[in-house]
Structure 1
Amino acid sequence: MDISGKSIVITGGASGIGAALARQAVAAGAKVCIADLNIELAQSVAKEIGAIAVACDVTQEKQIIEAIEFAQAAHGPLDIFVSNAGLGRGDPSHAASAPDADWALNWNVHVMAHVWAARALLPAMIARGSGYFVNVASAAGLLNQIGDAAYSASKHAAVSFAESLLIAHGDDGIGVSVVCPQYVATPLLGLGDADAQGNLLTAGDVAASVWQGVADGTFVIMPHPEVAKYSALRGADPARWIKGMQMLRAKAINEQGSISVSGFYKLV
């Protein structure tokens, strides 16, 4: 899909990958609505790039619907919904140690927010025979994030839901891309563009991959090409894959003293 002239909502669009997506979309001629919990930052970015902004807590279906209605009132029928909002809390100790509240938060942000957006938009998109969902997951959705079981499980579910959308509605004219990056220099890791090096990409790098993927109609967008190799290994030899991940976990403990999700980019 050519995004020029298209109406787009981007959740979590006030910073990181979301803000980079918004900047590049506006530069390409799209009409962008930034939806974010941090309305002040969202409005600042929107003013800077010529977009609009709305407060949105993606754990609340009503607020997702209101963000869509806000965007459509300003820009007309929505063409593309980018479910980008995300978080990571990490495991306090063992793999089941995160409290139920953290599991529920991961589920709502990484899965149900995608479901609620699709539920609100699919009927009209199907009726007109066009529309696009960009669901930002993670390489953890194809592989695993050591040290954050709730994040990994919810990102796997996000990939699965995106697949279900495309299987069910690709023939209705609906496009779907699921984005699966590894580590990105964003506020989620406490990093910025200046920290990017090697396999640590900038938010702009990822955003460029996303919009190219949308233009090409790519289902699984992998800004880090090596993820395809790892995913193939995981599928071909699960026992070898698990052993390798166990070794990576041990390396993290030996070199960093603990399982620090924010420090894993230094090991891969």
Structure 2
Amino acid sequence: MQLVDIPVLVTGGASGLGAATARRLAQAGARVAVLDIQLDAAQSLAQAIGGLAVHCDVTRTESLEAALLHAEAAHGPARLLVNCAGGGAPARIVGKDGPMPMEAFRRILELNLIGAFNATRLAAAKMMTLDPLADGERGAIVFTTSAAAYEAQVGQAAYAAAKGGLTSLTLQMAREFAPFGIRAMAIAPGIFDTPLLQTASEAVRASLAAAIPFPSRLGQPDEFAEQVVNIARCAYLNGETIRLDGAIRLAPR
């Protein structure tokens, strides 16, 4: 689809990969709604890119429903949803203090897997009612998965389960939505220079970069954002997860 004047939703859009994606989509001419639990940061970014800031907690259905209605009232029904909300602290299945609390496992699945699924089902239901574009497409949905979906490290049980779930959903969703002209894609980033890594020491950052075959550096959020734009524009991309990782394969630790 051509992105000029196309309404788009970016969850987790106030920082990191989501913020870079929101900026790049706005540069391409899209009407961008920045959905994030951090409303102040979302408002700052939205003002800079000419977009719309909407408070949204993807772990709460009522918050998602209200956010999508707000965005639709301002920009029209979305034809592109980019799910960037996510995160989570590492924890072993059985650590020094015993088994991982089930609430900790559930919390990471709620944020990364269930939140993305919830946003997707709500946005897709609306996309199905839209008139098709010139090429027959009605919309597209992008998941943010992770290299951890393939080579999960020690301590990443919950995160890997969530990202692996999104990876598995991508093809299933593409098949289910195909009759409606809605595509489903995912991007699996490797080690990216996000706000979390920016707090690490230079020695840690250099060590991480050296582990990446080529180019031996941290991924840049703008590179992720460029892939989102390419996915939106190329209608033949469907049902696939694109690894964006400089050919790294994560070690056990």
Name the TM-score class by shorter chain: 0.7 to 0.9
Task: Tell whether the 8 Å contact from 1:91 to 1:97 is kept in structure 2 after alignment.
Answer: no
1:38 and 2:35 matched = no
Whole-Å separation in 2 of the counterparts to 1:169 and 1:56: 25
Whole-Å separation in 2 of the counterparts to 1:97 and 1:3: 47
Q: Secondary structure at the match of 1:82?
A: strand
Residue aligning to 1:223: 244
1:162 and 2:197 matched = no
1:61 and 2:61 matched = yes
Task: Tell whether the 8 Å contact from 1:89 to 1:102 is kept in structure 2 after alignment.
Answer: no
Task: Tell whether the 8 Å contact from 2:85 to 2:116 is kept in structure 1 after alignment.
Answer: no
Give the aligned length: 231
CA shift for structure 1 position 171? 2.8
CA shift for structure 1 position 225? 5.0
Q: Secondary structure at the match of 2:196?
A: helix
Whole-Å separation in 2 of the counterparts to 1:49 and 1:125: 24
Letter in 1 for 2:222: G
Whole-Å separation in 2 of the counterparts to 1:224 and 1:215: 22
CA shift for structure 1 position 203? 0.9
CA offsets 1:3-50 (integer angstroms, 9 cap, x no match): 222101111111100000010011110000101111011101111111
1:1-268 superposed matches below 5 A? 1-92=1-92, 94=94, 97-128=99-130, 129=132, 130-191=138-199, 198-217=216-235, 218=237, 219-224=240-245, 226=247, 248-249=251-252, 252=253
TM-score, normalization by structure 2: 0.83
CA shift for structure 1 position 118? 2.5
Larger helix proportion of the pair? 1
Residue aligning to 1:234: none
CA offsets 1:143-185 (integer angstroms, 9 cap, x no match): 3233211000111011122222101112320011111011111
CA offsets 1:117-158 (integer angstroms, 9 cap, x no match): 222122332233411111111121233233211000111011
In the superposition, relative to structure 1, how do residues 188 and 61 fare at CA in structure 2: closer, same or farther (>3 Å)? farther
Q: Secondary structure at the match of 2:122?
A: helix
Whole-Å separation in 2 of the counterparts to 1:209 and 1:97: 39
In the superposition, relative to structure 1, how do residues 152 and 172 fare at CA in structure 2: closer, same or farther (>3 Å)? same
TM-score, normalization by structure 1: 0.79
What stretches of structure 1 move > 4 A for 4+ residues in a row?
194-197
In the superposition, relative to structure 1, how do residues 214 and 226 fare at CA in structure 2: closer, same or farther (>3 Å)? farther
Whole-Å separation in 1 of the counterparts to 2:92 and 2:139: 40
Whole-Å separation in 2 of the counterparts to 1:61 and 1:150: 21
CA offsets 1:166-217 (integer angstroms, 9 cap, x no match): 011123200111110111110233459x969524111112111222233224
Unpaired segments ≥5 residues, structure 1: 231-244, 253-268
Whole-Å separation in 1 of the counterparts to 2:84 and 2:61: 15
Whole-Å separation in 2 of the counterparts to 1:174 and 1:186: 30
Whole-Å separation in 2 of the counterparts to 1:164 and 1:225: 27
Task: Tell whether the 8 Å contact from 1:12 to 1:85 is kept in structure 2 after alignment.
Answer: yes
CA shift for structure 1 position 93? 6.8
Q: In angstroms, what is the RMSD of aligned CA positions?
A: 2.3
Whole-Å separation in 1 of the counterparts to 2:222 and 2:99: 34
Letter in 2 for 1:42: A
